[in-house]
């Protein structure tokens, strides 16, 4: 397809506008999109740390509450990245206002980048908020901040991309809820948010290793404590591979106009 000779600035202003609109969209309802997941994570933190603090020590010298926080941050971050792109797309498809974007000269790549970047921004905002609030409860080390950022960013990107795919595919809110409840929730809960997979029987340890969420959470936690179930290099490779695979699929869907253009 022919790319027209437009000043680069003009062409990317479209992408920036869509990104800005997507960020404002969730920011306008920040109680629901940022404050509410932070509160949910804190409730998990209060309940689980109250019940388990005295009984469980996953890593030597790391209190259970401290162990739990990175898991909770990553869980919320991933869920919100997915929720942002998927709900925005499904809502604008159901309402019909997706047409305003489809009528524009934005390329499929620009469309993808804008939705993805907004999902990452919300994910990082939620993650950072939980981290800041959690500091009231416990001292958290930051052994490898770069690993923390890398996993937060790539995790947000992976789930944001997955949200774009789900949002393009789903035609109803019901289908979206099914995605969230039957795919995202089980995969996050069974990924080591609340435990180390070393505490599982061998069979379930193996099963966990097929769950990409496990690598995101384990790598993220490694950044805080310098300890994890597996090497962060393996985790980052797995996350990057999944991200490339899903991004390829999302771009293929957008390029073909699947469920967006007839």
Partner 1 sequence: MTIPAIHIEQVHKHFGALRALNGINLTINQGEFFGLLGPNGAGKSTLINILAGLLKPTQGKVSVMGHDVVNDYQAARLSLGVVPQELVFDPFFNVREMLRFQAGYFGRGRENDAWVDEVIENLGLTDKAHTNMRKLSGGMKRRALIAQALAHKPPVIVLDEPTAGVDVELRQMMWGFIKKLNADGHTIILTTHYLEEAETLCERVAMMKQGEIVALDTTANLLNKLAGKNLRLKLAAALPTTLLPLLKSGENGVYTLALTELNQVEYVMSELRKAKLNIEDMQLFEADLEDVFMSLVGGNAGGE
Chain contacts with partner 1 (rule: CB under 8 A) = 1-4, 6-7, 10-11, 13-14, 16-18, 20-21, 24-25, 28-29, 92, 95-97, 99-107, 257, 261-262
> Nearest 5°: CA angle at 39, between 37 and 43?
115
Residue whose CB is less far from partner 1, 11 or 205? 11
Per the listing, tokens 């109250």 go with 50
Query: CB 90 → partner 1: shortest distance, Å?
Result: 14
Contacts of 10 (CB under 8 A, 6+ apart): none
- Report CA torsion sign: 160, 223, 245, 14: positive
Residue whose CB is less far from partner 1, 55 or 261? 261
Q: Looking only at Cα atoms, what is the longest distance across the chain?
A: 65
Residue whose CB is less far from partner 1, 32 or 231? 32
Query: CB 4 → partner 1: shortest distance, Å?
Result: 5
Residue whose CB is less far from partner 1, 2 or 60? 2
Residue whose CB is less far from partner 1, 25 or 144? 25
The CB density around residue 208, as the number of other CB atoms within 10 Å, is 19
Crossing angle of helices 8-28 and 64-95, rounded to 10°: 110
Query: CB 149 → partner 1: shortest distance, Å?
Result: 30
Query: CB 141 → partner 1: shortest distance, Å?
Result: 40
Query: CB 235 → partner 1: shortest distance, Å?
Result: 36
């Amino acid at each position: 397809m022919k790319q027209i000779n437009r000043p680069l600035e003009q062409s990317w202003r479209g992408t920036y506008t869509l990104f800005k609109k997507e960020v404002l969209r969730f920011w306008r309802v920040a109680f629901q999109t940022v404050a509410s997941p932070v509160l949910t994570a804190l409730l998990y933190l209060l309940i689980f740390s109250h019940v388990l603090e005295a009984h469980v020590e996953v890593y030597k010298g790391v209190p259970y509450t401290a162990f739990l926080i990175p898991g909770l941050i990553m869980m919320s971050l991933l869920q919100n990245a997915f929720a942002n792109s998927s709900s925005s797309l499904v809502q604008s498809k159901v309402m019909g206002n997706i047409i305003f974007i489809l009528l524009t000269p934005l390329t499929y790549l620009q469309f993808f980048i804008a939705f993805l970047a907004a999902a990452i921004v919300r994910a990082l905002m939620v993650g950072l908020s939980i981290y800041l609030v959690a500091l009231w409860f416990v001292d958290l080390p930051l052994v490898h901040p770069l690993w923390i950022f890398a996993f937060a960013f790539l995790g947000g990107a992976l789930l944001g991309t997955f949200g774009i795919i789900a949002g393009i595919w789903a035609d109803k809110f019901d289908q979206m809820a099914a995605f969230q409840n039957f795919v995202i929730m089980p995969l996050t809960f069974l990924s080591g948010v609340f435990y180390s997979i070393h505490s599982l029987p061998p069979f379930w340890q193996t099963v966990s290793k097929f769950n990409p969420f496990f690598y995101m959470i384990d790598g993220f936690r490694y950044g805080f404590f310098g300890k994890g179930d597996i090497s962060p290099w393996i985790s980052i490779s797995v996350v990057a591979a999944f991200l490339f695979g899903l991004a390829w699929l999302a771009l293929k869907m957008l390029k073909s106009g699947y469920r967006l253009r007839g």
